[in-house]
Structure 1
Amino acid sequence: MPVQIVDSRPVWQRHTRTQQWAIWAGWFALVLATVWCWQVMNRGTIWAFVDDAPRQASDLLSRAWPPRWSYMDRLWQPLWDTLNIATLGTLLGIVIAVPIAFLAASNTTPSKSLLRPFALFVIVASRSINSLIWALLLVAIIGPGLLAGIMAIAFRSIGFIGKLLYEAIEEVDTSQVEAVAATGASRMQTMDYAIVPQILPAFAGISVFRWDINIRESTILGLVGAGGIGVQLESSLARLAWSEITVIFAVILVTVVFSEWISGKVRHAII
């Protein structure tokens, strides 16, 4: 039943017959969509494999345990490469995303008809393509290695940082902007003294949060040749060395947890 607030008190009202039929029609459509999705899933599923899944999982775990901890000696350098990919990619993404964000924000862009649509397009294009796809494209263009991974992380970060930052710019306190502009400050001086100080905490939090995400994403870029610990993961998968894969998964898990801890501490200190 819909609720109206009268004199700070909720007043319940009965649905009209049209509203009741609309609700029942919505539930009926939901049931039809559920049945249709179930049929589509059944057509695309080989249930014999599903029935055999517990046995296959048990067999895989028996081959993956115990972990081959001696393999750790070969993971230190790839792990360091992964951290460099995430860090340098984040920094490069920040350098590109900051001006893009100022061009995309309606209150700082010098051209709402030309530059703002271009900046918004860059942000949308960056966010639309996964970092793994960026890495695949860049490996094909510039070859395998860390550079492709760094650029893939950067291109993916532009959209994330740019979108959140330009929204923060548009939400600044306009009274401070008007006060600085009233002193006769130029456009750049107004941005420096009225806008930038307001968005610095948000900018720092966004950057650290994106670095935390990039740590996770950079661990798999090696699957397409973009360097990092993913190269070792792909090699172990190709050899079906499941005890080595267990070690790699453990290293990735510890790295992600550590980066999450650092990210949380930094954001708490800043914000």
Structure 2
Amino acid sequence: MSEAVAAQTKQTNPGTQHDRIWVRYTLGQRVLRFAIYLAVVIAIVQSIRNINIIPEFLYDAPEQMADLFNRMWPVDWAHYPDSVHTALVETIHIATLGTILSVMLAIPVGLLAANNFTPSKILNFLARLILVSSRSVNSLVWALLFIAIFGPGPLAGTMAIAFRSIGFVGKLVGEAIEQAHAGSIEALKAAGATKSSQLNYGYWPQIKPAFWSIVLLRWDINVRESAVLGLVGAGGIGMTLDTAMNLFQWERVAVILIAIFVIVILAEILITQVRKRIL
């Protein structure tokens, strides 16, 4: 039956006598894929060649790790109330204050970066330059800079967290504003609404879920980053960790590492619960 149908189809449609060959990728696409794979392989090979790896250190790495864990055991839990708890609370304060300050500074920059809210090419460029500059400098570098200005301590860490977060928060807020639907905005403009009214009643209801998601995510990231800023003297639990490592107090190092791990997990759980309540 199927052969008869095929024969009838060939008689009625002579042009279909030649079978079509299906090819997944064209020649140009195959060449491009090969070029990308080749570039990745070359990059990996060049990276391995330029990184000085000492084989002797790799051979005894398991023994060194086992020796380090042996030094950390038993864990000195009695050290936690003395200095770890205070430093841990200070770390959370640095992350929280830095996040709040970054939001206050990032919102105006994000508004200037959104071309549908600020129709000025010059202001858009300047705002995006600020956002890129903030993201391109690592938080440890910001911490070193503010340590030179304010001296060692939590103030330098707070400022480092804030200036590092401006680019993240401002970029995502600006993109959320640019993706807002223009219908309600145009209606407000037609009614003679001011810029602040357009922002409060047109943009804010649309970007509110994204805004809180961005702020919560950034706070979660800042809790992790503020835990290591103390390694360069910017306050928090990192300073306690650096002191314990310099004094080879490995039992106390274990307590600090466990405390950092627990606070990161608790922050993740808190963020998840808050997102469920707000969003």
TM-score by length of 1: 0.89
Q: Post-superposition shift, 1:208?
A: 1.0
- 1:40 matched to 2:50? The reply is yes
The corresponding residue for 2:192 is 184
Q: Following the alignment from structure 1 to structure 2, what is the Cα–Cα distance between the partners of residues 14 and 210?
A: 42
Question: Computing the radius of gyration over CA atoms, which structure comes out larger, 1 or 2?
Answer: 2
The corresponding residue for 2:89 is 80
Q: Following the alignment from structure 1 to structure 2, what is the Cα–Cα distance between the partners of residues 224 and 173?
A: 45
**What are the superposed Cα offsets for residues 165-204 of structure 1, whole Å, 9 maximum, x if unpaired?**
0000000011111122222222332222111121111111
The corresponding residue for 1:235 is 243
The corresponding residue for 1:106 is 115
Structure 2 unaligned residues grouped into runs of 5+: 1-20
**Structure 1 residues 21 and 206 mapped into 2: Cα distance closer, same or farther (>3 Å)?**
closer
Q: Which amino acid aligns with 2:114?
A: A
* Count of aligned pairs: 258
- 1:142 matched to 2:119? The reply is no
Q: Following the alignment from structure 1 to structure 2, what is the Cα–Cα distance between the partners of residues 129 and 85?
A: 19
Q: Which amino acid aligns with 1:72?
A: Y
Q: Following the alignment from structure 1 to structure 2, what is the Cα–Cα distance between the partners of residues 21 and 107?
A: 40
Structure 1 runs, 4 residues or longer, greater than 2 Å off: 11-41
**What are the superposed Cα offsets for residues 62-120 of structure 1, whole Å, 9 maximum, x if unpaired?**
101111111101211111111110111110001001111101100111x5232221111
Alignment of 1:64-213 (within 5 A): 64-73=72-81, 74-109=83-118, 112-213=120-221
| RMSD of Structure 2 on Structure 1 (CA) | 2.0
Query: Residues 81 and 228 of structure 1 are in contact (CA less than 8 Å); yes or no, is this contact kept in structure 2?
Result: yes
Structure 1 unaligned residues grouped into runs of 5+: 1-10
**Structure 1 residues 199 and 54 mapped into 2: Cα distance closer, same or farther (>3 Å)?**
same
The corresponding residue for 1:6 is none
TM-score by length of 2: 0.86
